[in-house]
Amino acid sequence: QVQVVESGGGLVQAGGSLRLSCAASGRTFSSYSMVWFRQAPGKERDFVAAISRSGSNTYYDESVKGRFTISRDNAKNTVYLQMNSLKTEDTAVYYCAADPEDDSNRRSWGQGTQVTVAS
């Protein structure tokens, strides 16, 4: 089972940018589709963005479309989430998840990284 570790969170002013990274262990990273979720205080964990195993297909929640970009580097076993034009409502713990062969039933989760957007 792959292990994933997020990094890159922090405090940023509204309108600013952050890039999250998610590093995965193992030698089969390219067999995993990768997904970013977020969870704000008192709320459920929500889908943010996903990327296919090859990186050729990406998917976004409407709330981040046009502001966030998901990408991956299979040579580095890493997936990224570039977040631009951040809003206070983007404040949440961001989680990376790995789905082996696109199977969400065998999903592996990271520990999360906090993103705080100040007004």
pLDDT of amino acid 53 = 96
Those residues whose C-beta lies under 8 Å from the C-beta of residue 58, and which sit 6 or more positions away, are 49, 50, 51, 52, 69, 70, 71
- To the nearest whole number, what is the mean pLDDT of the chain? 96
Would you say residue 113 has pLDDT above 90? yes
> What would the mean pLDDT of 76-89 be, rounded to a whole number?
98
Residues of the chain with pLDDT > 70: what percent?
A: 100
pLDDT of amino acid 102 = 87
pLDDT of amino acid 26 = 80
Q: Is 118 helix (H, G, I), strand (E, B) or coil?
A: strand
Q: Which of 3, 62, 39, 42 is nearest to 113 (CA)?
A: 39
pLDDT of amino acid 24 = 96
**pLDDT tens by residue, 34-72:** 999 999 999 999 999 999 999 999 999 999 999 999 999
Confidence of residue 27 (pLDDT cuts 50, 70, 90): confident
